Structure 1
Amino acid sequence: MPSEPSRRPSAAEVAAAGGRTIPDLVGPGLRVLFSGINPSLYSAATGHHFARPGNRFWPALHRSGFTPRQLHPSEQAELPALGLGITNVVARATARADELSPAELIAGGRVLAALAAEWKPRYLAVLGVTAYRTAFARRRATIGPQDDTVGGVPVWVLPNPSGLNAHFQIDDLAREFAALRAA
Structure 2
Amino acid sequence: MTPEELLAARDRIVPDVVAGGLRVLFCGINPSLMTGATGHHFAHPGNRFWPVLHLSGFTPRQLKPSEQDELLTHGLGITNVVARATARADELSTEEFRAGGELLSAKVEQFGPSWLAVVGVTAYRTAFGERRAQIGPQERTIGGARVWALPNPSGLNAHWTVRTMAEEFARLRTAVGQEASVPPAPGRCTPEIP
Q: Using structure 2 for the length normalisation, give the TM-score.
A: 0.89
Distance in 1 separating the partners of 2:171 and 2:114: 14
Q: Per-residue displacement from partner, 1:106-132 (whole Å, max 9, x unpaired)?
A: 000000000100111110000011110
Q: 1:80 aligns with which of 68, 72, 75?
A: 72
SS of the counterpart of 2:84?
Answer: coil
Distance in 1 separating the partners of 2:2 and 2:38: 10
SS of the counterpart of 2:104?
Answer: helix
Report the equivalent of 1:89.
81
Distance in 1 separating the partners of 2:64 and 2:23: 20
Q: Does 1:51 align with 2:43?
A: yes
Superposition deviation, residue 10 in structure 1:
2.0
Q: Does 1:29 align with 2:32?
A: no
Sequence identity, in percent? 66
Distance in 1 separating the partners of 2:20 and 2:7: 35
Distance in 1 separating the partners of 2:43 and 2:2: 14
Report the equivalent of 1:110.
102
Distance in 2 separating the partners of 1:79 and 1:94: 24
Report the equivalent of 1:140.
132
Q: Per-residue displacement from partner, 1:94-147 (whole Å, max 9, x unpaired)?
A: 000011000000000000000100111110000011110010000010000000
Distance in 2 separating the partners of 1:28 and 1:16: 32
Larger deviation, residues 55-64 vs 146-155: 146-155
How many residues align? The count is 175
Report the equivalent of 2:188.
none
Q: Per-residue displacement from partner, 1:53-86 (whole Å, max 9, x unpaired)?
A: 0100000000000000000000001001110000
Q: Using structure 1 for the length normalisation, give the TM-score.
A: 0.94
After TM superposition, the runs of 4+ consecutive aligned structure 1 residues lying more than 4 A away are none
Which consecutive residues of structure 1, in runs of 5 or more, have no partner in the other structure? 1-8
Which consecutive residues of structure 2, in runs of 5 or more, have no partner in the other structure? 176-194
Superposition deviation, residue 29 in structure 1:
2.4
Superposition deviation, residue 28 in structure 1:
1.8
Alignment of 1:111-130 (within 5 A): 111-130=103-122
SS of the counterpart of 1:172?
Answer: helix
Distance in 2 separating the partners of 1:37 and 1:89: 5
SS of the counterpart of 2:86?
Answer: coil
Report the equivalent of 2:180.
none
Superposition deviation, residue 12 in structure 1:
1.2
CA RMSD of aligned residues (A): 0.6
